[in-house]
Amino acid sequence: MTTDNVDVDGVKAGAGAGSPTASVDDEVSLPQGLSRPARRALVAAGFTRLDQFTRVSAADIGRLHGVGPKAVDLLRLTLAGNGLSFAGEG
């Protein structure tokens, strides 16, 4: 596990997602229905796996430029479908 963590409102995000060589389309662990701007914003902030969202709130994710309510709702549904939830929701 690498330590390339990004600080999102004081919460450390996931590991190793900031690789400049990683294609946004290669991040298959994020829901397929996410818009390209939302996907780019999440990857840039270090989020590449669903389990990383359990450490941050939906509000924190929604504050990222490019991530709107539809993306947050899709993430919430995907998390729930995998037995996970945003921090403070479960």
- The residue ranges of every structural domain in the chain are 31-90
CA atoms within 13 A on the CB side of 50: 18
Secondary structure class of 52 (helix, strand, coil): helix
pLDDT at 66: 97
Question: How high is the pLDDT of residue 64?
Answer: 98
Q: How many residues does the chain have?
A: 90
**pLDDT for the residue 84:** 96
pLDDT attached to residue 29:
86
CB 43 within 8 A of CB 27: yes
pTM of the model: 0.70
pLDDT for 90: 77
- State the fold for domain 31-90: DNA polymerase; domain 1 (1.10.150)
pLDDT along the chain (90 residues), means of 10: 43 43 55 95 96 97 98 97 94
Instruction: Scan for tokens 């989020």, then name that residue.
Output: 47
